[in-house]
Structure 1
Amino acid sequence: MVQRGQRVEEAILARRERVNDAIPDDLPVVEPERLYEASRYLLDAGGKRLRPTMVLLAAEALADVEPLSVDYRAFPALSGDDVDVMSAAVSVEMIQSFTLIHDDIMDDDDLRRGVPAVHREYDLETAILAGDTLYSKAFESMLETGAEPDRSVQAVSKLASTCTKICEGQAFDIDFESRDAVTPDEYLEMVELKTAVLYAASAAIPAELLGADEEIDALYGYGLDVGRAFQIQDDLLDLTTPSEKLGKQRGSDLVEDKQTLITLHAREQGVDVDSLVDTDSVEAVTEAEIDEAVERLEEAGSIDYARETAHELIASGKENLQILPDNEARDLLEGIADYLVEREY
């Protein structure tokens, strides 16, 4: 019997392949080629495709169909009309890629997904244009699902408000870097805006497109909780996963004085977080310095605190799925929630 964890990984891989096959159709490389090559650069570099996978699985669960058995380009809506849920899936992945390009520019990061960041591979101007192109193309794709007009408007509105919230979250994140005191509640609000809302939209938009009104709020709540847990796990992985597996320097968040639930808890325990590493350069920090910093954070109970918070959020998120039919797709959505806090990179 295949264990659940393996089934979840296989489900993610299968849908990732479907999404990868769809991206060139929704975002072809046309003139000007350099712009569209830069726009496709991170999409072609890989990625887990967790958000579009969530779109596809939420649609499968709502329609109570056998996973992977239907045409995502002509998915049966509850009204009987076909909806292109793959366009919605690609749309949210474009938004994700857009945010990564702009994040890397703001943070002046060199690497993303193990390859040079877009502004390093191309140039700053092209990277900004590539991000803007992905942003606008995402809305074009969301408008091409063939859903009923009111449903289409609802989904596009959800995507637009999500993008606004992501920018608000990024602004809070930047503000936190210059503040001496940030509370865990403020951090969780920032994470909700910066990261979790795109997971929430990914889970809820299929219900909007397919006409499953009663399930919209529950799926949105599921996405918010698991999305916050995902970011907490990302913060943990930044400290505990080798650089080569992360695709960036381990401990970079700590070196750059980014506020995380881990460091906020450590401050409350009396740890001088600012002194954990002696350098403010990601390139200059050593593995030994990061190891020592992690040891001090573990002694303060901050690593365990962050892990426990993430698991509590996952449990809360999974509760929201009880409104869905009891089928394999719902079980996989629950499994993905667990995967988000069990993954190692």
Structure 2
Amino acid sequence: MTSPEAREEAVLEAVRERRERVNEAIPEELPIQRPERLYEASRYLLDAGGKRLRPTVLLTAAESLLDVEPLGTDYREFPTLNGNRIDIMDAAVSVEVIQSFTLIHDDIMDDDDLRRGVPAVHEEYDLETAILAGDTLYSKAFEIMLETGAKPDRSVEALNVLATTCTKICEGQSLDVTFEERADVSPDEYLEMVEQKTAVLYAASACLPAILLGADEETVDALYGYGLDIGRAFQIQDDVLDLTVPSEKLGKQRGSDLVENKQTLITVHARDQGVDVDNLVDTNDVEAVTEAEIDDAVAQLEASGSIEYANTTAQDLVAQGKERLEVLPDNEARELLRDIADYLIERGY
């Protein structure tokens, strides 16, 4: 049996290989043009890096559907199930562009100064330019998706998925904001919120190649479900890491979600167990909280079984997501999708 460490390294190598291809494609699909400042700001976070997990899921799902050698087929001339060829890389870039759009607007809403180790777009440029850059990325994602060359009915369905995904992301973000003012959020409500805010883009990434390549509805639905499951697990793992990974490795204050009163599956469960979540730390200032205070808070959350509950929920979601992959051919790419699912809950930060 492959160890988690070996599996993680294999996944990271596979992601690196596909990330390199995506990184080469981004300037082609989103060149710097007039007005230069707008497009420089739009490209800023894309050029700053990122794992490219969502486009990796998309490209890998396409490889599995066609049972082609991973990385051995030109993504710009990708075969379909109907014998035509399309540009599946355009779809991969499109979902990464949507991801970047959401990050720019998230940083504005949260007044975060840093992203991916560099100043946030609104800090590097200005608030007005950042808003326009996010809006530009949003619209460009649809333009890029239209360039795949897929059959018209398939393109329309792909655009519908992308549009619905963007709507749900906004709905999820709105729920997240309102949850900060509530002390009665249930685990089901939390899972609904992260499904919309985070998981739907993984779901779109997984199912879009099936739509564009001409797969049947069962396959599209199964891949969409896989993306929802692993996307929710991904966010739950982020909640756990925020409490358990040292600040220097996180790149931000450990426990910042707790200090800022963000609802997570951990705090929702702990409140149900009678923990006074609102008073686990004595300050609302992230910079003022001490490591000792976070240690004490984590100890209480562990004692209530809430961190274990979050871990178990994430594991169950990943197991469910991997079962959905049975609709795909049994090949190396399908196994990589399974390993990606495991990586999302086994990763460090």
Normalised by the length of structure 1, the TM-score is 0.98
Q: Aligned-pair distance for 1:278?
A: 1.1
Q: Give the counterpart of 2:256 among 244, 252, 255.
A: 252
Residue in 1 aligned with 2:185? 182
In the TM superposition, 1:85-124 aligns within 5 A as: 85-124=88-127
**1:112 touches 1:247 (CA, 8 Å); kept in 2?**
no
Residue in 2 aligned with 1:81? 84
Amino acid at match of 1:94: V
**2:270 touches 2:301 (CA, 8 Å); kept in 1?**
yes
Query: What is the total number of aligned residue pairs between the two structures?
Result: 345
Residue in 2 aligned with 1:303? 307
Amino acid at match of 2:187: P
Deviation track 1:130-174 (CA, whole Å, cap 9, x = no partner) reads 100110110011000010111111101100000001111111111
* Distance in 1 between residues matched to 2:80 and 2:278, nearest whole Å: 53
Amino acid at match of 2:146: L
* Distance in 2 between residues matched to 1:83 and 1:243, nearest whole Å: 44
**1:36 touches 1:130 (CA, 8 Å); kept in 2?**
yes
Amino acid at match of 1:319: E
**2:7 touches 2:343 (CA, 8 Å); kept in 1?**
no
Amino acid at match of 2:328: L
Identity of counterpart residues, as a percentage?
A: 76
**1:112 touches 1:248 (CA, 8 Å); kept in 2?**
no
| Residues 1:335 and 2:346 are matched in the alignment | no
- Report SS of the residue matched to 1:31: coil
In the TM superposition, 1:219-238 aligns within 5 A as: 219-238=223-242
**1:297 touches 1:303 (CA, 8 Å); kept in 2?**
yes
* Distance in 2 between residues matched to 1:15 and 1:241, nearest whole Å: 27
| Residues 1:324 and 2:328 are matched in the alignment | yes
* Distance in 2 between residues matched to 1:304 and 1:125, nearest whole Å: 43
Q: Give the counterpart of 1:36 among 32, 35, 39.
A: 39
Amino acid at match of 2:51: K
* Distance in 2 between residues matched to 1:241 and 1:116, nearest whole Å: 22
Deviation track 1:23-79 (CA, whole Å, cap 9, x = no partner) reads 111111112111111111111111110000001000000000010000001100111
In the TM superposition, 1:1-345 aligns within 5 A as: 3-213=6-216, 214-345=218-349
* Distance in 2 between residues matched to 1:74 and 1:102, nearest whole Å: 34
**1:42 touches 1:118 (CA, 8 Å); kept in 2?**
yes
**1:55 touches 1:202 (CA, 8 Å); kept in 2?**
yes
Q: Aligned-pair distance for 1:116?
A: 1.4
Q: Aligned-pair distance for 1:283?
A: 2.1
- Report SS of the residue matched to 1:222: helix
Q: Aligned-pair distance for 1:265?
A: 0.8
Q: Residues 244 and 33 (structure 1 numbering): CA distance in 2 closer, same or farther, change over 3 Å?
A: farther
Q: Structure 1: which 5+ residue stretches go unaligned? A: none
Q: Aligned-pair distance for 1:320?
A: 0.3
* Distance in 2 between residues matched to 1:249 and 1:32, nearest whole Å: 37
Q: Structure 2: which 5+ residue stretches go unaligned? A: none
- Report SS of the residue matched to 2:162: helix
* Distance in 1 between residues matched to 2:36 and 2:299, nearest whole Å: 48
Q: Aligned-pair distance for 1:180?
A: 1.9
Amino acid at match of 2:204: A
Q: Aligned-pair distance for 1:327?
A: 0.1
